[in-house]
Structure 1
Amino acid sequence: MNRLFAGLQRTQLYIKSNGRCAMCGCLLNPAKWEADHIQPWSKGGPTEQLNGQALCIPCHQSKMTTHPVEQYLPQKIELRKWQQEFAQRFLDFAGTQAFLEPNDRKAFILNAFPGSGKTIAQLAVAKYLISTGLCDWFTVVVPSDKLRSDFVQVAEMFGLRLYGGTALNVNFNVHHGVVLTYQQLSSETRTSQIAVWTKSHRTFVTADEIHHLSDKNSWGENFELAFEESTVRLLTTGTPFRSDHSRIPWCSYVRISERLEELDLKGSHAYSYGYDDALTDGVVREVDFPTWSGRVQWRVSSPDGTTTDFDHTFDDDLKEIYPDLSEGDVEKLMNQRNRFAVEADTQYIRDQIIAADRTLQSIRQTHPWAGGLIVCQVREHADAMGRLVEELTGEKPVVVHGDVEEAKDKLRCFQQDTTPSRERWLITVQMVTEGVDIKHLRVLVYATNKTAPLFWTQVLGRILRHEQEAPLDQTAVFYQYGDERLREYAKRIHEAIQTHRQLKEEKQPRDSSERGEHTPATVEGLSAEGEGDVHIFGGKEYSAQEVEALTAYANSLGIHPVKLIALLEAAGDTNFWDAAYKAKDQADQAKGQVGNQSVDDSMAS
């Protein structure tokens, strides 16, 4: 294949561009312009009209080493450094894939921590692909209706008109693409319709939060059927991947042991942007994890009338206490302990909400419109928590659940209202756990017994987004119970956590009891109480007493208390406790009080 565009090809490219530079839009000098490869020849781009564009000489020179993504963006859109790096790697990859046969095409994987800007990154490369003509149709698949409407709205900022309705009444003369939900792919009729669109266009498809895909459910199967003829493919995630036996379409896996494999995130087909990267760039917030100990009592009643009472603290090792139980049964007990700790009628959750609201009100001294989020187990639990929050705080919270218009409207109002008069607390089940951008959320209470790393990380992402208009120190606070798994997640937040895929074992015959052919036992909570004893910050644990000792001084400086402790520690003070109490004495003196309180007095204050 020739490297240079021939005379007829140059004429076609000139006519295709209406005699204007495809990048800057200036009128071309008919005798002095460049026939350019959209995907560079050096990176596999063919010398074909589809891969060609007419450029003025200055624009061609600026494009010699990189894809000029930002030249196609509106002036108000400024990409972060990681988004620029991702765009270059992705577009290099896209150029090599676009000219392969459909069955040979792979997907690029973007793994970016929640809150770091995946939506902007996706839209930036979509704008480039559509503008350069490498693709002429853009399809996005997202988990929920709320995310669909949000994506359509943000796309307008890029000059991309995306259809976001449910009826799929797309106008190809008006729209640049469509935003779908995974639920829409459960219909074979719709899947066939989308497949026709995909085949009749040069389609760029992106699937957001790809843990929703699997080769073992209808969404995953229909996703492959709908987009098997797609030209360019991008899969994104901000959380750990599926931990079951399922594979994600178009992805490669690496075997790491006899029975485990993980998604291949290395090489030219992937880009990762972790929490540490985002924190260094000021994209996300630091997080304080007040982790509460406590004692929980609950009762299990069997169908035969026998009852068993359980009484355990979060420090109890249930595997050691019940060595004869299977791993699954021990995990069931742990989840029961978690569930009954956060029921709305326990002293445990009452005290935690009081502490969380006190923290939120302190934050609102410098960030008056800051909000709090409580994530609950089911709708009834959320309603009960709403009543409890109103009782304890004297203010009615916003409670949203159910994917209905009324709930969406309430969520939208809370999201858009950044006045101090707005309600402090938002309570939900799952509507805010994935992709919903409410940057003023600063405090979170994890009141659900779900302990999967995927869900936990999604919830964490709700309070991580850095808000430009907020104060310099925007440390977020994530209240959680003392389950050992959650403590470990909080300590490992700075690591790249990926859930492994467990390879299938041969199924063994199960007896009727294993098949669930029996009446289930009933479980009821009896009581729960506890207190915050540990703060996890930066992968380390700090005692609640340390944090309490520095709270007044930290507040006077406008710094979160546990962050101040970490800063003092990092300064290398060999006598950390002396430094901490000197700081507290200075705060007391600033209030006109006498310092030199004893350690005991400080602890009691």
Structure 2
Amino acid sequence: MNLKLRPWQSEALAKSLKWLVEDRSDRRFLINAAPGAGKTLASCAIAQALIERKEIDRVVVIAPRAEVVSQWSEDFRRVTGRFMGKVTARDGDISTLGMDVCATWSAVQGLMPELQSVCRTSRVLVICDEHHHAAVEAAWGTSADSAFADSAFVLVLTGTPVRSDGAQSVWLAYDDAGAIDHPDAGTYTLTYGLAVDLGYCRPVTFHRHEGKFTVDLEGGHSVQVSGHQPAELPKDLVRIPGLQTALDFYRLARTPQFEPDKITPKLNGYQATMLDWGSQKLTELRQRMPEAGGLVIAPSIEMAEYMVDLIELLEGERPLLVHSQMPNPESRIKAFRNTDKRWLVSVAMVSEGVDIKRLRVLVYLPNALTELAFRQAIGRVVRTAGPDDDTRAYVVMPSFETFEVYARRVEEEMSASTRSGKDEPRTKRCGVCGHECALGARECPGCGHEFPVAPQRLKACEKCDALNPVTASSCHACGASFSQTFTLTLDEALRAGAIVRGMDLDETEVQLAEQMAPNVRNLILRSGDNRLVRILKTLPDESWARLKTILVAES
């Protein structure tokens, strides 16, 4: 294939060949480039050049997830014309296959002897995608270090070079500050800010979604919690074990809120207002990019299902859900990539390396609070759709210090012109013929395509009754802030689990215990055993599932 490389990719190709082949300085070359900048194609071009120079016989790619491995296989064949087989630990002796292979980082541990044999009998280029998955102390890192010790060359790729557990990755040295310490001549770096300026990535705008929670406690007490105001408990409640943890802002932000039927999600709850803002922004973006999509990253499967229900209530269309417990989740991701469906809701499945260029809105409510996870998630919505793509990416996230620190660092990488994002679109683009049309046009003058009419959702100002767009942060008429207060009972606040008499229980334990409690209570009372009755009075109903787990484990 006659591949047309971006200027940075051509520079990385030339620099890598000089380091690896011409100067023979070291067998390892590092590409540290922003997510979406095109590391995969650059790497395939380097592999092709080494093959043509007869420096290598085979290529082995290690990537984070099965979906990413599949993308590697397709891109590698497109660039080099060579088939790359996807292998797992179940494939056994891969050395006899005689072809280029790709696998996940987790599969390396089970393939260690086979990969080691391949590297000893052939001249192998190992491409390590998302290098932070390999750490010196972690099982994957130990496996990778052993399996590829005899490889001819190692190409290390990363857009997020720091592991979330703080461990150092194999093959590369680190300085005292924890930054990768690899020679400049053996490294090519492309920051996110520069990638935006060069048009390789879209600029991102962060919406810090404010919210104040009022939690009603027992005895007439209530506490206020926000992202910048931790709960101040009354003196008589300070000593209750686990209560402060239960009232943590981010925990409350991840707590589903229901109508009195305890089934229907609240349309005025915190998560609903996050999604409403994201929904309106996605509708606006679709005027410039008709196929634009949104991604919700949820903290758990239960919360993901809740967000799916909320989006359906808000928009009337049920989004696509994908998580690890579903059969063949990779096919669902691929299906979303090739449709114009508005929303994809995920639990840690659409992260590093997954390429869905039409994603432009991210609603970020994850379980992980690391900067690594934060930057990986942003990388899903900043990939450019081509030279005519003039959209921005938007991240809707809870407004609290941890995320705001990460967001400021990303913003500081961007130039002032791309950071502002003040320009509003003056036209909308037809999704059929690409014609630029007036914003108010009902149909395309070029092809006659009728534009879908999206009703604008408005909210009334509580102070002056003026109507404002849902995405407004303050009233256009009187300037009043639209920061909302969300009221929860203590039971609701603890619904993501339970803090009962000092026991921190998760939601699964609570639900199972609620089913068990009536039968357990009846059996103990009918037994007439006073000691068991005393235990019944001591242990809360919510604890029975945990007690069952302990007893089963000991039996």
Given the two structures, how large is their TM-score scaled by the length of structure 2?
Answer: 0.68
Residues 97/186 of structure 1: CA separation in 2 closer, same or farther (3 Å cut): farther
Aligned 8 A contact 1:338 1:449 in 2: no
- 1:281-296 equivalence runs, <5 A: 281-296=198-213
In structure 2, how many angstroms separate the alpha carbons of the residues matched to 1:196 and 1:351? 55
Partner of residue 168 from structure 1, selected from 71, 82, 91:
91
Partner of residue 451 from structure 1, selected from 354, 369, 379:
369
Residues 110/309 of structure 1: CA separation in 2 closer, same or farther (3 Å cut): farther
In structure 1, how many angstroms separate the alpha carbons of the residues matched to 2:32 and 2:411? 15
Aligned 8 A contact 1:252 1:263 in 2: yes
Task: Compute the displacement of 1:174 (Å).
Answer: 7.4
Letter in 2 for 1:282: G
Letter in 2 for 1:198: C
In structure 2, how many angstroms separate the alpha carbons of the residues matched to 1:203 and 1:300? 63
Aligned partner of 1:433 in structure 2 is 351
- 1:130-209 equivalence runs, <5 A: 130-158=51-79, 159-166=81-88, 167-168=90-91, 176-187=99-110, 190-209=111-130
In structure 2, how many angstroms separate the alpha carbons of the residues matched to 1:486 and 1:139? 36
In structure 1, how many angstroms separate the alpha carbons of the residues matched to 2:71 and 2:326? 16
Aligned partner of 2:533 in structure 1 is none
In structure 1, how many angstroms separate the alpha carbons of the residues matched to 2:254 and 2:305? 13
Task: Compute the displacement of 1:149 (Å).
Answer: 1.0
Aligned partner of 2:282 in structure 1 is 360
Residues 86/269 of structure 1: CA separation in 2 closer, same or farther (3 Å cut): same
3-state SS of 2:330 partner: helix
In structure 1, how many angstroms separate the alpha carbons of the residues matched to 2:408 and 2:380? 18
Aligned 8 A contact 2:288 2:391 in 1: no
Aligned partner of 2:176 in structure 1 is 255
3-state SS of 2:379 partner: helix
In structure 2, how many angstroms separate the alpha carbons of the residues matched to 1:444 and 1:335? 26
- 1:250-399 equivalence runs, <5 A: 250-256=171-177, 261-297=178-214, 311-316=224-229, 333=245, 336-345=248-257, 347-399=269-321
- C-alpha distance after superposition, 1:316-356 (max 9, x if no partner): 2689x99xx9xxx99x9599411321434261111121121
- Residue 23 (structure 2) pairs with residue 90 (structure 1): no
In structure 2, how many angstroms separate the alpha carbons of the residues matched to 1:307 and 1:224? 60
Letter in 1 for 2:320: V
Letter in 1 for 2:101: V
Aligned 8 A contact 1:473 1:558 in 2: no
Count of aligned pairs: 417
Task: Compute the displacement of 1:215 (Å).
Answer: 1.2
Task: Compute the displacement of 1:488 (Å).
Answer: 2.2
In structure 2, how many angstroms separate the alpha carbons of the residues matched to 1:254 and 1:379? 39
In structure 1, how many angstroms separate the alpha carbons of the residues matched to 2:150 and 2:348? 34
Residues 409/286 of structure 1: CA separation in 2 closer, same or farther (3 Å cut): same
Aligned 8 A contact 2:225 2:247 in 1: no
- C-alpha distance after superposition, 1:196-234 (max 9, x if no partner): 111001111111111111111211111111011011111
Aligned 8 A contact 2:65 2:104 in 1: yes
Letter in 2 for 1:180: A
Residues 449/221 of structure 1: CA separation in 2 closer, same or farther (3 Å cut): closer
* Greater Cα shift, 284-293 or 337-346: 337-346
Aligned 8 A contact 1:205 1:227 in 2: yes
In structure 2, how many angstroms separate the alpha carbons of the residues matched to 1:221 and 1:229? 14
Letter in 2 for 1:275: Y
Aligned partner of 1:11 in structure 2 is none
3-state SS of 1:254 partner: coil
Letter in 2 for 1:94: L
- C-alpha distance after superposition, 1:86-110 (max 9, x if no partner): 1111112212686x9xxxx552221
3-state SS of 1:382 partner: helix
3-state SS of 2:44 partner: helix
In structure 2, how many angstroms separate the alpha carbons of the residues matched to 1:400 and 1:228? 37
Task: Compute the displacement of 1:410 (Å).
Answer: 1.5
Residues 197/97 of structure 1: CA separation in 2 closer, same or farther (3 Å cut): farther
Task: Compute the displacement of 1:298 (Å).
Answer: 5.7
3-state SS of 1:463 partner: coil
Task: Compute the displacement of 1:252 (Å).
Answer: 1.6
In structure 2, how many angstroms separate the alpha carbons of the residues matched to 1:124 and 1:428? 32
In structure 1, how many angstroms separate the alpha carbons of the residues matched to 2:303 and 2:412? 33
* Greater Cα shift, 357-366 or 200-209: 357-366
Residues 300/85 of structure 1: CA separation in 2 closer, same or farther (3 Å cut): farther
Residues 399/462 of structure 1: CA separation in 2 closer, same or farther (3 Å cut): same
Aligned 8 A contact 1:253 1:264 in 2: yes
- Residue 477 (structure 2) pairs with residue 601 (structure 1): yes
- C-alpha distance after superposition, 1:395-421 (max 9, x if no partner): 11000111755322221111122xxxx
Letter in 2 for 1:264: D
Aligned 8 A contact 1:374 1:425 in 2: yes
Aligned 8 A contact 1:208 1:237 in 2: yes
Aligned 8 A contact 1:396 1:423 in 2: no
- 1:476-515 equivalence runs, <5 A: 476-495=393-412
- C-alpha distance after superposition, 1:139-182 (max 9, x if no partner): 11111111111110111101121111334378779754110111
3-state SS of 2:154 partner: strand
- 1:221-236 equivalence runs, <5 A: 221-236=142-157
Partner of residue 4 from structure 2, selected from 59, 78, 84:
78
Task: Compute the displacement of 1:381 (Å).
Answer: 1.1
3-state SS of 2:61 partner: strand
Aligned partner of 1:587 in structure 2 is none
Q: Percent identity?
A: 27
3-state SS of 2:185 partner: coil
Task: Compute the displacement of 1:242 (Å).
Answer: 2.0
Where does structure 2 lack aligned partners over 5 or more consecutive residues?
258-265, 430-474, 483-555
- C-alpha distance after superposition, 1:495-552 (max 9, x if no partner): 569xxxxxxxxxxxxxxxxxxxxxxxxxxxxxxxxxxxxxx99557x9xxxx8xx9xx
In structure 1, how many angstroms separate the alpha carbons of the residues matched to 2:216 and 2:39? 45
3-state SS of 2:135 partner: coil
Task: Compute the displacement of 1:443 (Å).
Answer: 1.1
Aligned 8 A contact 1:206 1:236 in 2: yes
Letter in 2 for 1:458: Q
- 1:509-588 equivalence runs, <5 A: 554-557=424-427
Where does structure 1 lack aligned partners over 5 or more consecutive residues?
1-73, 498-535, 560-598
Task: Compute the displacement of 1:359 (Å).
Answer: 1.3
Aligned 8 A contact 2:73 2:83 in 1: yes
In structure 2, how many angstroms separate the alpha carbons of the residues matched to 1:317 and 1:538? 34
Task: Compute the displacement of 1:238 (Å).
Answer: 0.7
In structure 1, how many angstroms separate the alpha carbons of the residues matched to 2:98 and 2:338? 27
3-state SS of 2:317 partner: coil
Task: Compute the displacement of 1:602 (Å).
Answer: 8.0
- Residue 322 (structure 2) pairs with residue 400 (structure 1): yes
Aligned partner of 1:423 in structure 2 is 341
Aligned 8 A contact 2:30 2:155 in 1: yes
- 1:92-131 equivalence runs, <5 A: 92-95=18-21, 107-131=28-52
